[in-house]
Amino acid sequence: MTDYLFPKNFFWGTASSGPQTEGRFDGDGKGDNIWDFWYEKEPQRFFNQVGPDKTSYNYKRFKEDVALMKATGHNSFRTSIQWSRLIPDGTGEVNPEALAFYNAYIDEQIKNGIEPFMNLYHFDMPMPLQEKGGWLNRETVEGYVHYAKTCFELFGDRVKYWFTHNEPIVPVEGGYLYDFHYPNEKNLRHAIQVGFNEALASALAIQAYHEDQDGQIGIILNLTPSYPRDENNPEDVKAAKIADAFFNRSFLDPAIKGEYPEDLVAIVKELDMVPEHTAADLEAIKQHTIDILGVNYYQPRRIKAKDNPADKNPDCPMPEDYFDNYDMPGKKMNPYRGWEIYEKGIYDIMINVRDNYGNIPCFISENGMGVEGEERYINADGQIEDDYRIDFIKDHLRYLHQAIQEGANCLGYHLWTCMDNWSWTNAYKNRYGLIAVDLDKEAKRTIKKSGYFFKELADQNGFKD
């Protein structure tokens, strides 16, 4: 039997976000964000046409939800403040209803021994700012810094772990390359500008935080280790390195090293797509790097050299002009989400951060398995027996444990997610929670088998097997 014991004070918990859990209610004063707007315009793009107003009603039920967090072993929990709830028009007055809600929610967590981790931006651009270009517009950077400072002033006395963005590459990919977020553009020049402005906004918020706050501030990145089809084929290796530059190092390097990777800069220059910026912007990115890194890990990226290098549209350059995605035979899949499950990826990321990023303090900020149709696993007592999720968690924790044994500076593990929640255009298709939410029964919450497993895991600070 092996004992997988984790370091003292390890963070055990889950992650979620404001837009995916809170819901929207008459009189709550929330302004529209891009999800409210897009759903209104194209409800058919959302699974079963379930929109952002119908998320798990956490706004009204947060006390019950915090009690459930406690029952499932949380000593920490991450959510996000919704910018459009706190400051409905993006830049003006604070909404008093939102202030009361976030204060009460944070206090409830602390009262129950749950350390609040707070993220500032989870894909949810306020609509008045999107109308002026969203992250493409420099004014959004200023608006974001104002919003971030407001959050630090209002909640910084109790929240000691802050994050500037969750997965900033996703609004770039979804909104400006691959059509799964509003504004549904396909424009690499815009994608690069959006990514730069997000990184700049992050640095400026970190600067503001460090001026008068005493906790830690970081960023949460979805790192997808890029594996070449054939490690002995230099063309595959080169292609994988370029994919890594586009999707991982584009945020990882500025966040930790304060500068962009040379290979990415060379490509952007060659494309003549250097984003608009000033020398002061680069200096801000250089100076204001993160204290702590959140790593979201779901799947790796398999890459090969392009089968046909000429296969590109000169009018619409894309990252895939430099590599092909490789459909590796025999890979283990999560069939519902269509994502590969490769547990060792979590180890490889940790070792990369240890060796190439100064072993900065980090934690797993998301990892999880979305499954469709979990009702079929309900037992006679009404509990979902999600043994596959328990196995998924253990399989990843074994590798995480190994990385920690080998010196990785990993402080915790947060699962995605606490209770089933609304996931953008996938809405409630795939369920990720430790706790089931029954939408047909007024969002009734029931702890799944994995929730009880997680409690034991946290109580024992690990597991044996």
Select the residue interacting with ligand BG6 from 423, 435, 454, 463 (CB under 6 A).
Answer: 423
Part of the chain binding ligand BG6 (CB under 6 A), chosen from 21-29, 55-63, 384-392, 423-431: 423-431
Q: Binding of ligand BG6 at residue 55 (CB under 6 A)?
A: no
CB closer to ligand BG6, 140 vs 296? 296
Select the residue interacting with ligand BG6 from 22, 65, 115, 167 (CB under 6 A).
Answer: 167
CB of 174 to ligand BG6, least distance (A): 10
Select the residue interacting with ligand BG6 from 14, 17, 140, 450 (CB under 6 A).
Answer: 17
Q: Binding of ligand BG6 at residue 166 (CB under 6 A)?
A: yes
CB closer to ligand BG6, 166 vs 409? 166
Closest alpha carbon to 140 in 218, 197, 206, 88: 197
> Is the alpha carbon torsion for 68, 441, 47, 181 positive or negative?
negative
DSSP string, 77-121: EEEE--HHHHSTTSSS---HHHHHHHHHHHHHHHHTT-EEEEES-
3-state secondary structure of 396: helix
CB closer to ligand BG6, 245 vs 415? 415
CB closer to ligand BG6, 94 vs 439? 439
DSSP string, 418-442: SB----GGGTTSSB--SEEEEGGGT
Q: Binding of ligand BG6 at residue 370 (CB under 6 A)?
A: yes
Q: Binding of ligand BG6 at residue 416 (CB under 6 A)?
A: yes
Residue nearest to ligand BG6 (CB): 423
Q: Binding of ligand BG6 at residue 337 (CB under 6 A)?
A: yes
Closest alpha carbon to 288 in 375, 208, 224: 208
CB closer to ligand BG6, 73 vs 370? 370
Residue 153 annotated among the catalytic residues of the structure: no
8 A C-beta contact, residue 326 and residue 302:
yes
* CA dist., res. 281 & res. 286, Å (int): 9
3-state secondary structure of 33: strand
Q: Binding of ligand BG6 at residue 140 (CB under 6 A)?
A: no
CB closer to ligand BG6, 32 vs 167? 167
265 DSSP assignment = H
CB of 122 to ligand BG6, least distance (A): 6
Part of the chain binding ligand BG6 (CB under 6 A), chosen from 129-137, 152-160, 202-210, 422-430: 422-430
Q: Binding of ligand BG6 at residue 428 (CB under 6 A)?
A: no
Q: Which residue has the tokens 């240890």?
A: 354
CA 423 to chain centre: 12
Catalytic residue among 40, 366, 442, 456, which?
A: 366
CB of 295 to ligand BG6, least distance (A): 12
Closest alpha carbon to 439 in 68, 29, 48: 48
Kindly tell me the burial class for residue 231, based on how many C-beta atoms sit within 10 Å of its own C-beta (0-12, 13-18, 19 or more). exposed
CB closer to ligand BG6, 9 vs 48? 48
Q: Binding of ligand BG6 at residue 299 (CB under 6 A)?
A: no
CB of 452 to ligand BG6, least distance (A): 23
C-alpha distances in angstroms, 352 versus 103, 227, 403, 419? 38, 13, 10, 31
CB closer to ligand BG6, 288 vs 337? 337
Kindly tell me the burial class for residue 111, based on how many C-beta atoms sit within 10 Å of its own C-beta (0-12, 13-18, 19 or more). exposed
Q: Binding of ligand BG6 at residue 46 (CB under 6 A)?
A: no
CB of 370 to ligand BG6, least distance (A): 4
3-state secondary structure of 290: coil
Among positions 384-403, residues that touch ligand BG6 (CB under 6 A) are: none
| Other C-beta atoms lying within 10 Å of the C-beta of residue 157 | 12
Select the residue interacting with ligand BG6 from 56, 130, 222, 226 (CB under 6 A).
Answer: 222
Q: Binding of ligand BG6 at residue 426 (CB under 6 A)?
A: yes
CB closer to ligand BG6, 50 vs 273? 50
Sequence-separated (6 or more) residues with CB below 8 Å from residue 348: 225
CB of 422 to ligand BG6, least distance (A): 8
Sequence-separated (6 or more) residues with CB below 8 Å from residue 252: 221, 223, 293, 357
Q: Binding of ligand BG6 at residue 79 (CB under 6 A)?
A: no
Binding-residue total with ligand BG6 (CB under 6 A): 13
Closest alpha carbon to 195 in 221, 230, 163: 221
158 DSSP assignment = T
CB of 86 to ligand BG6, least distance (A): 19
Catalytic residues: 366
> Which residue ranges make up the site for ligand BG6 (CB under 6 A)?
17, 20, 166-167, 222, 296, 337, 366, 370, 416, 423, 426, 430
